Amino acid sequence: MSFDCPAYPLVRRAIQLLSAVSLGIVIVASIPVALAAGSEPPVPLAREILAQLIGINTTHAHGTTPAAAALAERFRAAGFAPADVVEVAPPDHPEQGNLVVRLHGKGKAKPVLYIGHLDVVEARREDWNYDPFALTQNDGWLYGRGTIDMKGQDAAVAATLLDMKRTGFVPDRDVIAAFTADEESTGSNGVDFLLREHRLLIDAEFAINPDGGEAGMKKGRRLYVGMQTSEKVFYTLKLTVTDKGGHSSRPTAGNPIYRLAADLTRLADFRFPAHLTDTARAYFAARAKLESGQVRADMLSVSGANADPAAIERLSQQVETNILLHSTCTVTQVAGGHAENALPQRAEAMLQCRILPGESLDGVREQIAARIADPDLQIGVQTPGKPSPESPLTPRIVTAVERVTRSIWPDVIVLPSMSPGATDSLYLRGAGIPSYGVDGMFDDLDDGRAHGRDERIGVSVFADEVKFTGALMREVSGAK
């Protein structure tokens, strides 16, 4: 097992910082974490914007241009200069519109960028108890496609910027918000497009991506605010076995389906070596505060410089923690044969991998080949991986998130995290802009409905999200 971590001093410092802040012994500047004097969180405005966005169908087939235009109209009406409200779409995908808004600051530091996608996954009316494209309030919940992923967050960001403009708030640095297209599909991704074609519009010192954050609660108890600093690399291999085929009445030992099945069986219990990233160590150090007994001891062990192999083994038995310790590959599709009465000439399987940051994609492929040990198996790359570095656990960013979180929810911890899935932060990190997934919209860990039927968010949870967004945006827009 490999526990190498060249940047461990930085991790140790971040862990110490998180622990110290949690104990209330970190002294920071006495700038109040609050809205402008005399101002309340713009919850009614955010609700109005949310209703407007939910009412615009932004699935891939319909596009995001109408939603981007609706938001742009609000910003211009609020007094933002035309040059600071930019609508742009790829020439070959005019329906996939993006909006970039800039609130000018004092120029004391490079801008901070907020990103949020406007598109949503498909939702069919016959599957839902409510109209998915109309915001509906019932029994303390707000229903609609995108309430949690992520038009709720978009509305909070937009309302905060509008409120800043209304109250005359001037940050130390520019605040940029990019409302983008095609995060949920493989079409024309808005963040990727903006970086390639309009980098100056969104160039920033660092970014906040609410879509990458996770605020978790169970049975109504708020537990943690996630701070996503990295994500696994999406990488798919295609496994292929071929044969000359023949008539099904004359079976042979070269049947590709049987051979491929045997190859896949060798992968069923295969596990990549453990690899503790900076984020994983910080995650386990913080997560241990929510646990007890052996689990707590194991998490504290793997957060340190000399992880106990037995602790690694126990944590690897649970899906939730295993995916933070290991790269993973799993079979997701199998196909073979071409006719009912013919021997198969080909059998194929898709091996979908999520690779830890810093690990070699070629090395993963080589380990798979060595495990299967079938010279006749062809292993090709179906979907190339796009590696991105971890965003550093910069003390200033950690302190800002911790401070705002505790000002609203004193008992909630900040939990550094690595996403097993993919977000638009991938493109920013690859372009040299550190990105942090942070969100204060608490979702029920036992009843998450993002992408699902009757997607919803609590009325009070949404109000808290607006408050959290406003406080954090003001905090990170300072120059120090």
Residues with a known catalytic role? 119, 183
Nearest to 349 by CA among 433, 254, 268: 268
**What whole-number distance in Å separates Cα of residue 16 and Cα of residue 193?**
38
**What whole-number distance in Å separates Cα of residue 183 and Cα of residue 422?**
9
Nearest to 177 by CA among 102, 107, 117: 102
Nearest to 375 by CA among 272, 261, 259: 259
* Contact (CB, 8 A) for 343 and 247: yes
Rounded to the nearest 5°, which phi and psi values hold at 96? -100, 75
AA identity, residue 72: A
* Contact (CB, 8 A) for 415 and 283: yes
Instruction: Label residues 15-40 b or e (16+ Cβ within 10 Å = b).
Output: bebbeebeeeebeeeeeebebeeeee
Using DSSP's 3-state secondary structure scheme, residue 472 falls into: helix
Neighbours of 421 (CB within 10 A): 9
* Contact (CB, 8 A) for 244 and 344: no
Tokens of 317: 């038995």
Q: How many CA atoms lie within 13 A of 94 on its CB side?
A: 1
**What whole-number distance in Å separates Cα of residue 277 and Cα of residue 232?**
11
Instruction: Label residues 208-227 b or e (16+ Cβ within 10 Å = b).
Output: bbbbbbbbbbeeeebbbbbb
Beta bridge partners of 376: none
Using DSSP's 3-state secondary structure scheme, residue 236 falls into: strand
Nearest to 347 by CA among 476, 456, 469, 261: 261
